[in-house]
Every structure is written in C-alpha cells, then in structure tokens.
Chains A and B, each alone.
Chain A
C-alpha cells in the first residue's frame, strides 16, 4: 500500500446550463452577472475519484488547484467540505484572458511548485468552454502520460493504474504508469455531498483576497493555519509572464457574436385539434411524413 499525492484541477464556472431569461439582456447579449458561479460539474466527478483513492490508500492527500479571481476560493472551500486536504488558488491579473494553452502553462508551473505528485485528476472539460484541452496540455507540459474520458479508477498495482474510459460508442479499460494525468467524464460517479463536520471545520477557510479587515474571527487564521487557502501569483510559482494570460495565448478571439436568431417566416398554430390535423395532412401531402 502506498500513500498517493493527488492534485485535483478544478474550475469555477458560470452555470451556462441554466441560462434563464434574465441571463440575456434585451439586446440579446449575455448578462454574466446573472449567472451563478458553480463548481465545474465534471471537476466534481474528478474530486470523487480522488476521494475514493484517498479512502483506499490511507495516508494519501488530495489537494485542489484552481485558477481564477479571489472569489474562486469558494470551490476550494467546497472541496474541503467534501474531504479534500487543502487547496491552491492561482490568482493574478497576469493570468487573465488565458486560452487553454496559457492556462495549462500556469497550472503545470504551479504543480511543479507544489512538488511531487502521483496523480493529477480533473474534469474532462469545463462547461463554459467545453474544450477538454487543459488536461492533456497539462500532461504534456509535465511530461507524463494522460488518460482522458475516465469513468472509474479500477485499481493501482506496482505503480500501474487501471482505468475504465468512456470512448466513442463503448468502453475501454487501459493501464498506465504513475505519475499520470486523468480527466474524468461526467458519466463517472457523482461527488459525495459536503460533510457537516467538515463544513464546521472549514467554513472560515479563505483566500487572501476574500479576507476583510476587522473580521471578528481574524485570530482564527493564526490559530488554525488550515483555514488559510494558499493564493499564488505568477511570481510565487516562478512563472514567465509572457506565457501567461492573454500574452501567452496563441488563439485570439477575432469576433464575438451574440446570438440573436434570425426569424424566418413561420406559421404559428394553436394546440387545437383542427390546427394539428391540418398540419399533419399538410406534411403528408408534401410527403414529409408517411
């Protein structure tokens, strides 16, 4: 039995799945402020796989690494509530505007700073971009193998890890070396809920930017070091600013078009029997159906 050093890559994302009417302005643009910020769903699947490994291999540690603004410490807290041992928030203006390549540079550089690891886990993709690129790019930058679209970690023996993957039209079981980067598919087991005791323990855990002056519980942060969520800027991870954020991103956004659908001529029908029968007859006459 060995103790595993596990790092979970997670992202706080706008909840693009539930874009309600108030999330669009009258001009048809996205009102980002109206979208709640959530733990990227597949990153939660990844966290669950990490926590299961921790249970199977006592003494293992699970640390969460995320990049974002100060408020992104929220997802590290959520991970602590579910059983993670600690977290790191990469937060710096120099990281802003990063495409997947610049993001993976920042994450890989931070992982090197954290130190040795056995397994990096992350969601297959984030719902605000749906690219699935960061995991493999981090693996390449760290020079380790990758296993994407993972559904379940089946076991670890002699430094070889067996993983079931969800592939196009089927499943595949692969075995690879440690250390490794694994991205977890949404079809994997859902993440356990927050644990009430851990919520009590970590509810005051904060990153530097979240702290406010004159907190009545400020003394807690010295008494209980685990309440301090590590926050790192580019300099803290010995990063190269040129490879971070917008300047480190080969892809540029040329144009962004908000979606305003072009209305084409359409017939509006009621749900009355007559309207529906007419429609069915019309489609049958045109041989569209039947």
Chain B
C-alpha cells in the first residue's frame, strides 16, 4: 500500500521540531489508513538522525547524505523528493509550513502535478464524493485550513492526484514518541542518482540564524495586543504587564501591519501557534486567523471596548473597557495582591 511520507528538515545537528510533530500526525494517518510511515531527510552530515526520527513510529527512513544538501537550497531537495516520489508513489506527503517547506512543497507539487494545501490547521482521513463526476473515494486526506483572510474554514481534498500534499505550521500538531526502540528500516540513497549537477546552481553565501527572539511557542502566559492598542506607545504597555506576570508578548496581524511591534510576535495561522494556560487578548477583535493560533489556550481573557468583538465568544472572561484603563489596573492589583 502507498505510504504516508514526511519530509524532515535538518537544522545542522537535529531534525526540526515541526518535522517531529508531523511524524506524530503522519503516524496517526498511516494507522488510520493501515499503511507505513516513511520519512525523508537530506543534508551533508546526518549523524544521529535515526534516533531523532525512528522513535516517532517511522517504518522506513530515507537518507540522502551529500555535500551541497545543507544549507537547504530548492533544486537539490526538490529533485530528491520528485524522483523518490516517482519511485515510491506515496499517497500523502506532509512538510512543515516553514520557509523551507513553503519553498519546497510547491516546486515538488508542480513537478508531480499533485495538489498541495498550505498551512493546514487540521488533517483527517474521510470519504469524499465528487458530485460532478459521480466518483466516490473512501479515504482521502481532509486538509483543513482557514482561508480568505481567515473568514472561512475550508476543507480541501485532492481526489485524483498523488501525493496529497499539505504543509503545517510549527506548534499546530503535538509531538509524541511512539517508542524509543521503534524498529524502522534505514535506506541510504545515492544522491547523484536523484540530483543532477545543475541542481546545485543556487549557492548560500552567508547565513545568519539567531536563536528565537522570543519564547511565544512555549510560554505559559501570553499577553497579546491587537489593533485596538491604538499606537506603538499604547502597545508598549503590554510589556509591562507581561513583565509582572512573567509572560511573553504576542500580537495580532493587525497590530503588526499597523507597525505597533515586530513581525515575529504574530500569533495566528500565519504566525506562531500558542497554547498557554492563560491568554490575555488586549484590543484584539479576533479574526479566525488569529483564533486559529490561540484557541487552545487554557483560560482566555479578552479586554475590548467592543462587547461584540468576535474573540469574546471564545473568552472565559470578557472585560468591557478600554485597554489603557484596564491594563494598568491589572498591573496594580497583581502587584498589590502578590505581596
């Protein structure tokens, strides 16, 4: 039977977290379909990769080790997947909705003429009936994602083309080891049989990757600001609240577009997904794109002068008021009561 494949990103010494999250999801999909889970990794030095991939329930690990495969460039990695998939005919391929996955996925899907859905927030297996052609399908991959600026949620399927490809952002799926000594086969491929010399046309001259500037993904309390913060100065008030609560500051896309804060604070479908125990939404109206990135928070407090703000519908506490009045009061009473 045709397997589920996950393309795993290599970050120099280890496999990217998002790839391991997708292995966990891929394992579940493979179990539902009764097929194998296979993984692909390509880089210059893959020492130690087996222990980072197989425990997630990988049945076959395809390794491509060779010079020029790290740092990532589009063409060699695309050629590896295109040629490997022509041989292996996977039914599903998952990759991270990262800069790499979103560069690689479309190139591969174009070459294989297969459907690709970006930034899925949920993946399920289910039946599908094509009313036009009258054909029915038992078990397609439902690729579920917000669309149209997050005002709708669409379920996309690829009825006839394989593999069914999807990208998923980091933090959307849970990462879970199946067993430390899960037995999978390791296949070492000859890179030159998959990649031609001309594929190495793009060279990375310089690369500067910094450790993440914030820890939004792992924060247990998040204070997030939206367009309702009114200005950059207004937004800055949130750092003070975050400081006393030992929280991380996040933002909605509207706040970033308005220039209130830096782009890497964005929470939502096209930003970071967070699952804190407490989420304080300040002046955030709550477009679904934003909701998609924080709805699994434990307790949600919404501070908004508009009692009908959409985010209030998923909030545990709604404070109707101006953020510039409420936030200083929260700081004050927290300080008073914590002594």
Contact = CB atoms under 8 A, between A and B. Distances in A.
Contacts of B338: 284, 290
Given A251-B116, A258-B151, A288-B278, A271 B103 contact: no
Nearest to B140: A254
Given A169-B212, A170-B210, A261-B291, A289 B156 contact: no
Interface in B309-339: 310, 312-322, 325-326, 329-330, 333-334, 336-338
Given A169-B209, A169-B210, A145 B74 contact: yes
Nearest to A139: B107
Nearest to B157: A254
Contact of B211 (A129, A169, A254, A275): A169
B317 A279 contact: yes
B269 interface: yes
A264 B116 contact: no
Interface string A266-279: 11111101011101
A177 B325 CA distance: 56
A252 B117 CA distance: 10
Interface in B147-179: 147-161
A281 B269 CA distance: 33
A238 interface: no
A141 interface: yes
A264 B314 contact: yes
Interface stretch (A59-67, A70-78, A99-107, A226-234): A99-107
B107 A137 contact: yes
B160 A250 contact: yes
User: Main SS of chain A's interface residues?
Assistant: mixed
A122 interface: no
Interface of A: 14, 16-17, 19, 23-24, 30, 99-101, 104, 127-137, 139-141, 145-149, 162, 165-177, 186-187, 249-259, 261-264, 266-271, 273, 275-277, 279-281, 283-284, 288-290
Contacts of A127: 149
Contact of A137 (B110, B148, B263): B110
Interface stretch (B22-30, B197-205, B230-238): B197-205
A68 to B, nearest CB: 16
A101 B118 contact: no
Contacts of A177: 201-202
Given A19-B287, A130-B119, A170 B103 contact: no
A101 B264 CA distance: 29
Given A136-B110, A149-B99, A250-B158, A173 B152 contact: no
Interface in B241-296: 245, 253-254, 257, 263, 269-270, 277-278, 286-288, 291
A44 to B, nearest CB: 14
Contact of B147 (A129, A139, A171, A277): A129
Contacts of B307: 268
Given A99-B115, A149-B99, A266-B317, A257 B149 contact: no
A73 B219 CA distance: 46
A172 B316 contact: no
A148 to B, nearest CB: 5
Given A16-B150, A261-B291, A133 B118 contact: yes
B114 A250 contact: yes
Contacts of A141: 110
B257 A17 contact: yes
A279 B202 CA distance: 56
B128 interface: yes
B115 A101 contact: yes
Interface of B: 71, 73-75, 78, 98-100, 102-107, 109-111, 113-119, 128, 130, 142-143, 146-161, 201-212, 221, 245, 253-254, 257, 263, 269-270, 277-278, 286-288, 291, 298-299, 301, 307, 310, 312-322, 325-326, 329-330, 333-334, 336-338
B149 A17 contact: yes
Nearest to B306: A21
14 contacts: A128-B149, A140-B110, A147-B202, A167-B207, A168-B100, A172-B208, A173-B204, A174-B203, A187-B263, A249-B115, A255-B155, A266-B318, A288-B299, A290-B337
B106 A136 contact: yes
A175 B208 contact: no
What are the 5 tightest A-B residue pairs by CB atom distance, in nearest-first order?
A16-B149, A271-B321, A250-B115, A261-B313, A170-B209
Contacts of A283: 278, 299
A282 to B, nearest CB: 9
A133 B116 contact: yes
A193 to B, nearest CB: 18
A225 to B, nearest CB: 35
Contacts of A168: 98-100, 209
Given A149-B99, A289-B221, 13 more contacts: A14-B149, A19-B287, A131-B118, A140-B110, A165-B99, A173-B205, A174-B203, A176-B202, A177-B201, A250-B160, A264-B313, A276-B329, A284-B337
A16 B151 contact: yes
A277 B337 contact: yes
Nearest to A251: B115
